[in-house]
């Protein structure tokens, strides 16, 4: 008589060969799932600080400036040595803030926007702005920019809107195409680096004239690079001034 293969039927007793398979397969499957749950999170960089979008629109009062990238300087009296907090600005899409906002550049404004944050970096997607009177005792911006000297810093250019939380992960080659589109549209490019303790540092980028570099850094976005230039303390932030032609690509 020919040998019959075991065939599983839901309402019938489990065949011995299927039972033997399940006895080793199910424990192995459980161990694999547990192992993946332990191993996978550390492989997802920035998992501990993925960024956040504060969906409710907020209002900020500060000095609106266009260079080197659109940003808002908001008085920060709680920190005497950093009297301004710097908020890079974008529009609501992959563009710089609209003309209705940027026509007020150089003036104190009441700006409405959406806060996007990956501490310590924060930015605003601007909705609208209207001019206001200069606050009494407002600090002079020129007095807040202090040169810290020349440094060679390794890091990556990210777009200032997606990286802090609009997109995840928001950096490296995975996000390159989106970052290029944002930066080419006027979203501030931000240089992200890490210090010896693994803490993230962020720099606004400018050329030697203090002007925007967006169109000149697109071929470097999302790659490991080194920038040698002058670091300026600017409120609670930093500006890295260098000629984009001198940026150096590093081995991946």
Is 114 within 8 Å of 87 (Cβ atoms)? Answer: no
CA distances from 160 to 31, 41, 103 (A): 41, 25, 21
Say how far apart CA 218 and CA 214 lie, in whole Å.
7
Taking only the tens place, the pLDDT of each residue in 130-158 is 999 988 777 676 667 899 999 999 999 99
Residue 140 is encoded by which pair of tokens? 């002079």
**What does the block give as tokens for 32?**
């694999």
Classify residue 215 as exposed, middle or buried by CB count within 10 Å of its CB (0-12, 13-18, 19+). Answer: exposed
> Domains, the chain, ranges and CATH?
52-141 (2.40.50), 145-249 (2.40.50)
Task: Give the residue, 184 or 135, on which the prediction is more confident.
Answer: 184
Could you read off the pLDDT of 186-201 as tens digits, one per residue? 999 999 999 888 889 9
Phi/psi at 26 (nearest 5 deg)?
-65, -45
Residue 153, H or E segment: strand 145-159
Give me the mean pLDDT over the 170-199 stretch: 87
**Confidence band, pLDDT 50/70/90 cuts, at residue 15:** confident
């Amino acid at each position: 008589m020919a040998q019959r293969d075991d065939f599983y039927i839901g309402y019938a007793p489990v065949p011995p060969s299927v039972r033997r398979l399940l006895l080793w397969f199910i424990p192995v499957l459980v161990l694999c799932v547990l192992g993946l749950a332990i191993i996978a999170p550390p492989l997802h960089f920035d998992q501990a600080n993925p960024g956040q979008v504060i969906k409710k629109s907020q209002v900020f009062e500060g000095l609106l400036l266009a260079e080197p990238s659109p940003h808002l300087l908001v008085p920060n009296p709680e920190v005497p040595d950093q009297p301004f907090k710097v908020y890079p600005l974008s529009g609501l899409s992959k563009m710089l803030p609209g003309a209705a906002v940027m026509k007020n550049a150089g003036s104190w404004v009441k700006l409405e926007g959406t806060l996007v944050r990956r501490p310590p970096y924060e930015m605003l997607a601007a909705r609208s702005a209207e001019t206001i009177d200069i606050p009494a005792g407002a600090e002079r911006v020129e007095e807040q920019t202090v040169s810290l000297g020349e440094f060679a810093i390794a890091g990556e250019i990210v777009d200032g809107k997606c990286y802090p939380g609009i997109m995840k992960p928001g950096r490296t080659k995975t996000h390159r195409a989106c970052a290029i589109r944002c930066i080419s549209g006027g979203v501030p490019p931000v240089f992200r680096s890490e210090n010896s303790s693994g803490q993230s540092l962020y720099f606004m980028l400018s050329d030697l004239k203090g002007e925007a570099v967006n169109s000149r850094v697109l071929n470097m976005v999302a790659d490991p690079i080194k920038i040698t230039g002058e670091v300026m303390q600017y409120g609670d932030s930093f500006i890295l001034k260098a000629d984009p032609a001198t940026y150096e690509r590093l081995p991946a």
